[in-house]
């Protein structure tokens, strides 16, 4: 452990309230830099070398990452980790200057998320089947409710699995979820999703022979809280039954929720709050998706465009 790393972990956990995985990534990035920077200049008393010398070492470190073929996305994340660490050192009065203050992260192209059409979502909620019996019963009600709720609320699969019955208000059409970093938020759900939850609740006890069930809403046939892996399997099966041949995950429904909200006029800040993004730049990726969708719609339906395409 380098000087102050334990205090840094406490800072990320309780002040920044980041998730465990994010904290581990930040710490790993800072430690990696310390190994690169360990040539006799890291003082045992806990003080980092400052000024231009430290800044030059950071630049050398970034150059070395480029030479190793590390992607710009990964380099940007490492710089972000270091920035957080030096900000922490400044707040703790362990340093007087931030050597990363004027160092910018490299630009990179963000991968645009895949999303479903409304028809595809509806087909996943109620996929056709030759076996009429497969369209009823506990498992069908549960799986349909999962698809409906993921799309209606845009919550993460981990949030879905942890959703408790007492966190749901069907009367107000609101659910309470615990997001990354232990941040709680209230999310409205559609009436269709509320009806789907009510329908599933009628079958919930029939899913398992156990008389005592967990407090989480979604359970397995063994009477246990549904796992993330199980939800991924359910979504994959539903996509196949709906005739969707590309890979679909629970996150695809989250992407679809965000894209459709923005396309239909929702403002970016509202979508950010609903998704539980701490940084609006994470949400902004959906503006590119919705803009492309609007361009396609314009090209397809605008009178002049239709004439040029021979429609």
- 254 catalytically annotated: yes
- 251 catalytically annotated: yes
Lookup: tokens for 190: 């559609």
- 255 catalytically annotated: no
Burial of 95 (0-12, 13-18, 19+ CB in 10 A): buried
Query: Which candidate in 55, 83, 94, 277 is catalytic?
Result: 277
Strand partners, 178: 184
Query: Which candidate in 225, 254, 255, 260 is catalytic?
Result: 254
What is the C-alpha separation between 246 and 116, in angstroms, rounded?
10
Query: Which candidate in 180, 185, 224, 228 is catalytic?
Result: 180
Query: Which candidate in 11, 78, 151, 156 is catalytic?
Result: 156
Query: Which candidate in 11, 115, 151, 286 is catalytic?
Result: 286
Cβ contacts of 77 within 8 Å, gap of 6 or more: 25, 29
- 260 catalytically annotated: no
Cβ contacts of 155 within 8 Å, gap of 6 or more: 149, 163, 175, 177, 187, 254, 276
- 114 catalytically annotated: no
Query: Which candidate in 94, 228, 236, 251 is catalytic?
Result: 251
**Which residues are the active-site residues?**
156, 180, 251, 254, 277, 286
């Amino acid at each position: 452990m380098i000087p102050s790393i334990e205090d840094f972990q406490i800072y990320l956990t309780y002040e920044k309230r980041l998730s465990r995985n994010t904290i581990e990534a930040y710490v790993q990035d800072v430690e990696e830099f310390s190994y690169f920077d360990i040539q006799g200049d890291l003082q045992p008393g806990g003080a980092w070398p400052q000024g231009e010398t430290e800044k030059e070492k950071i630049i050398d470190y970034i150059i070395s990452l480029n030479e190793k073929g590390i992607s710009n996305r990964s380099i940007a994340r490492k710089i972000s980790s270091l920035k957080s660490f030096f900000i922490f050192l400044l707040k703790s009065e362990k340093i007087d200057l931030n050597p990363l203050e004027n160092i910018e992260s490299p630009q990179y192209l963000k991968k645009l998320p895949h999303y479903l059409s409304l028809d595809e979502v509806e087909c996943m909620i109620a996929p056709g089947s030759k076996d009429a019996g497969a369209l009823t019963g506990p498992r069908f009600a549960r799986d349909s409710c999962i698809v409906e709720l993921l799309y209606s609320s845009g919550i993460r699969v981990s949030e879905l699995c942890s959703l408790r019955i007492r966190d749901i208000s069907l009367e107000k059409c609101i659910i309470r979820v615990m997001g990354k970093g232990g941040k709680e938020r209230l999310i409205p759900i559609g009436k269709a999703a509320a009806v789907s939850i009510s329908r599933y609740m009628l079958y919930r006890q029939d899913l398992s022979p156990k008389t005592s069930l967990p407090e989480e809403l979604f359970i397995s046939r063994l009477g246990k809280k549904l796992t993330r892996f199980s939800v991924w399997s359910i979504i994959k099966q539903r996509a196949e039954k709906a005739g969707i041949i590309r890979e679909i995950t629970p996150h695809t429904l989250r992407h679809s929720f965000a894209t459709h909200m923005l396309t239909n006029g929702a403002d970016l800040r509202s979508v950010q709050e609903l998704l539980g993004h701490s940084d609006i730049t994470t949400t902004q990726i959906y503006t590119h998706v919705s803009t492309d969708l609007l361009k396609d719609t314009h090209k397809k339906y605008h009178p002049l465009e239709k004439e040029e395409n021979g429609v």
